[in-house]
Structure 1
Amino acid sequence: MPERKDRARNIEKLEMRPVEFECHGELLRGDLYLPKNRSHNSKLPSVIVTGAWTSIKEQMSGLYASELALRGFASLAFDFRGWGLSARDDKVKYLENPNRKIDDIRAAIDFMGRCEEVDPDKICGLGICGSAGYMSAATGGNRHIHSLALVGPQLYNSEIIAEVYGGADEVIALLKLGRDASIHEVPRYIVAASKVDETALMYGVEYYTDEDRGLIPEFDNKFNLASWEELLTFDGVGTAEKQNQPTLIIHSEAAAAPKGVKEFARRMGDRATTLWFEDVSQFDFYDKSAPIDRALEAVTEHFHSTL
């Protein structure tokens, strides 16, 4: 993947079109990336790209979408309801609710099928980090999707959730916190990422706390405490059971919860291909040139070979 100056020049090879579509009567806003050198008489294969939890379309999903457009795809990065530009008219904000986001992805799939530039028989899904389970749930058994890729997937089940969050008692406490927040008259938000606020969801976590990386002006940097119940009871690993798309999984032992990825792949059997990178952290998958370039090469090959 090109470095920033080269990437800025490459953006000139793309058309980025602001788009809107609805989910359950609520408006979602996104960016549709198209290669400028496309034949206007032909339909393009397309990819819907989603990013890590709390993220917006100007972060990793937009990066991957723009790079895929340079490789000949019509690519969509969008803000989930309550996040980024989609939060503008939404009363429910900063809610990391897997089922709500799964519905948003399904709405995005329907939208792409209606785009005049898109071949409706060649629509793909790409889920990055925390949205990988959402993407898997939204695309499994969906006749409008024809191929799937997961990059740096953060796939949890109840066992892994207990390990990540410090044991069953800590999970129970977070569930209670989430339930209390969900019935609270006023929404309860905390900072999503901070280097100084120890109460932040992601305290001292790289990428999100670096202005040269994920801490961009558009980033909401908030987390709705009512998220916890749905988030901690969502079984991302279990979505493999209904996942019938040819699937490429790209991960690293140095990234988030490789145990969940291995179990997901085991359940998918020969429907999935797993590519393991060495010494690549979770955050490297978000914006580091070398692993992203390798991932995009593999994802592009996978989509072309399975469509």
Structure 2
Amino acid sequence: MQNVTFTNADDTMAGNLYLPDGFSEGRSYPAIVSVHPGGGVKEQTAGLYAGELAREGFVTLAFDASHQGESGGRPRHLENPASRVEDIRSAVDYLATLGYVDADRIGVLGICAGAGYAVNATMTDRRIKAVGTVSPIDIGAAYRLGWDGSEPVATQLATLDAVAQQRASEAEGADAAYVPYVPYVPETVDGTTVPDMAEAHDYYRTPRAQHPRSDNRMLFTSVANIYAFDAFDQVETLLTQPLFMVAGSKAGSLWQAEQLLPRVKSPKELAVIDGAGHVSLYDVPEYVDQATAHLSPFFTKYL
């Protein structure tokens, strides 16, 4: 694995580049961009899958989103879907400049919110030849409709009212407000907590996968950008590249993959991993192995 940098407009992006066993600069390899979940960093699940796929013969790149991790971008802790999609295009730019990467064989893998961003980028970047996803969600739908898709419109509008009030306060000089991606402390996780969110706390906020640059903070004003984003808008016509989705049978987010599947007209498949939740596909070995066993032949076929 090599630490690398590339550019997205004026921002310097930080990435980890994974190379296959027996790598030779004289060969030509297929490549995959690995996109982390909202609030994650490249050293977590995106890097894990990048490493797994590198062992399958792909050059892979995991990177920190702009405004987050080691990548540049101001303000910090911004979750801006437009920036996240452009990050992916910039990562493809970088891979295509590497002499040992076949620019006609580049794919993208996204996890959680990174999956929605990956699909969205693929729809409008014809250089991406195939897109794979793990625990896929559209972050816009997840925030508007809630994790289970049942959030009422009145609650959505109340949230936007609060965002507007916060933005007005910051324009008058107030400090920025932050919200957590997952519950801050164990005391906020109880029997009423959605199982996926309880496991997300375990993944992000305990030694299981905690990382100092994944500090569980997002600018509250980011919510307006997220609400306005629909990762799968126009997927019926613009996504002509093949899609493979991996989701857990116990994931509260499974409905997102199930609703997306019939909309896609290109070659597509959904593999549901029995017993897996949304977050267990991030790092639990038996589930990661099963996901990789699906994704590797998919990318091999189309790249």
Q: TM-score range by the shorter chain?
A: 0.7 to 0.9
Q: Deviation at 1:211?
A: 2.4
Distance apart, 1:259 and its partner CA: 2.1
Task: Name the residue aligned to 1:168.
Answer: 153
What per-residue deviation string (whole Å, max 9, x for no partner) do you get for residues 101-125 of structure 1? 1111111111111112211111010
Stretch moving more, 163-172 or 36-45: 163-172
Aligned partner of 2:259 in structure 1 is 263
Q: How far 1:210 moved relative to its partner?
A: 4.1
Secondary structure of the residue aligned to 1:207 is helix
What does residue range 216-235 of structure 1 map to in structure 2 within 5 Å? 216-235=211-230
1:280 is matched with 276
Q: Deviations over 1:162-197 (max 9, x none)?
A: 354732122112222333344524432234441257
Identical aligned residues as a percent? 26
1:125 aligns with 2:115: no
Q: Deviations over 1:120-165 (max 9, x none)?
A: 1110100111111111111114221111101110136659833547
TM-aligned CA deviation for residue 255 of structure 1: 1.3
User: What's 2:209 paired with?
Assistant: 214
In the other structure, the counterpart of 1:65 is 50
Report the CA distance shift for 1:239/1:207 in structure 2 as closer, same or farther (over 3 A): farther
* Count of aligned positions: 288
Aligned partner of 1:113 in structure 2 is 96
With over 3 angstroms needed to count, the CA separation of the structure-2 counterparts of 1:95 and 1:239, relative to structure 1, is farther
Query: Taking structure 1 as the reference length, what is the TM-score of the superposition?
Result: 0.86
C-alpha contact 1:237 1:260 (8 A) present in aligned 2: no
SS in 2 for 1:21: strand
Contact 1:21 1:29 in 2 (8 A): yes
Question: Structure 2: which 5+ residue stretches go unaligned?
Answer: 190-195
In structure 1, distance between residues paired with 2:92 and 2:167: 29
Contact 1:48–1:76 (CA under 8 A) maintained in structure 2: yes
* Alpha-carbon shift at residue 268 of structure 1 (Å): 0.6
Q: 5 Å matches for 1:65-214? A: 65-87=50-72, 90-155=73-138, 161-164=144-147, 166-183=151-168, 184=170, 185=173, 186-193=175-182, 194-196=184-186, 198=188, 204=198, 205-214=200-209
Q: Is contact 1:175-1:229 (8 Å) kept?
A: yes
Distance between the aligned counterparts of 1:217 and 1:151, measured in 2? 24
Distance 1:171 1:31, change over 3 A: same
CA distance in structure 1 between the partners assigned to 2:76 and 2:187 by the alignment: 21
TM-score by length of 2: 0.87
Paired with 1:102 and 1:254, the residues of 2 have a C-alpha distance of 28
Partner letter of residue 292 of structure 1?
Answer: V
Query: Residue deviations 1:227-282, cap 9 Å, x none?
Result: 11111222234352321111111113311422221221101135211111112101
Q: Once the 2 structures are TM-superposed, how far is the Cα of residue 91 of structure 1 from its aligned partner?
A: 2.3
Identify unmatched segments of 5+ residues in structure 1. 1-15
Q: What SS does the aligned partner of 2:230 have?
A: coil
Q: What amino acid maps onto 1:252 in structure 2?
A: G
Query: Which segment drifts farther, 151-160 or 117-126?
Result: 151-160
Q: Is the 8 A contact 1:177 1:225 kept in 2?
A: no
Residues 57/159 of structure 1: CA separation in 2 closer, same or farther (3 Å cut)? closer
**After the TM superposition, which of the residue ranges 134-143 and 163-172 deviates more from structure 2?**
163-172
**Corresponding position of 1:48:** 33
What's 1:10 paired with?
none
Conservation of the 8 A alpha-carbon contact between 1:83 and 1:220: no
- Tell me: CA distance 1:115–1:235, structure 2 relative to 1, closer, same or farther (3 Å): same
Give, as a single letter, the amino acid of the residue that structure 2 aligns with 1:218: R
Contact 2:204 2:214 in 1 (8 A): no
Structure 1 window deviating more from structure 2 (161-170 vs 44-53): it is 161-170
Q: Which moved more, 1:240-249 or 1:74-83?
A: 240-249
Q: Distance in 2 between matches of 1:172 and 1:154?
A: 21
Q: 1:100: Cα distance to partner?
A: 1.3
Q: Secondary structure in 1 aligned to 2:109?
A: strand
Q: Distance in 2 between matches of 1:155 and 1:258?
A: 11
Q: CA deviation at 1:53?
A: 0.7
